[in-house]
Amino acid sequence: MANSGEKTGLYSTGGKFLSFLLSQEQYGLEILKVVEIFGMMKITAVPRAPKYLKGVINLRGKIIPVMDLRLRFSLEERPYDNKTCIIVVTGERAEQELTVGLIVDTVLEVKDFPAEMISPSPDYGAGLDTDFIIGMGRDGDEQVTILLDLEKILPAEHIDIPVTSESSAAQ
């Protein structure tokens, strides 16, 4: 399904985004969805999971699934290094809050994109789904940041990611 151009929310109002790199391209996530950022840590693999789901981490007693965004976007896999980071974000899946770690090449900075600096994503036709893109943030003359819709990149319907909440942990 191609991008219909009928985006609302941050596309029409602008906002602050955490920028990061994946394969030399700059991406951004709404800063209000970011919980924390840290370097790579031990990830426990989950059997039979899709390749982009690297496993889970134990973050202060909470089990959090971790996705490699390079693999989620069908980019070439590369070894992790000292710049590789995990961005912990909170989004919604099926009307339930979901906390996920996203592996990125490196975190850059928080950028403010007013509405007039956000362009719709190009329409590539019906063959390419760009629904996960809020828009293209323009920063200066040449730099473009691909602004992502977190809920659209989360694996909603085709995988059951273990979710731990404080209420279920207490039972």
Amino acid (one-letter) located at 128: L
At 86-119, the pLDDT tens digits run: 999 998 877 788 899 999 999 999 999 999 999 8
Per-domain residue ranges of the chain: 10-162
Rounded to an integer, what distance in angstroms lies between the CA atom of residue 43 and that of residue 136? 32
What CATH number should be reported for the domain whose range is 10-162? 2.40.50.180
Instruction: Please provide residue 44's backbone torsions phi and psi, each rounded to the nearest 5 degrees.
Output: -90, 120
Q: Looking at residue 127, what is its pLDDT?
A: 54
Distance between CA atoms of residues 20 and 74, nearest Å: 17
Question: What does DSSP assign to residue 163?
Answer: -
End-to-end CA distance of the chain: 42
pTM of the model: 0.81
| 111 Cα distance to chain centroid | 16
Instruction: List the structure tokens of 103.
Output: 């592996």
Can you read off the two tokens belonging to residue 145?
């940041």
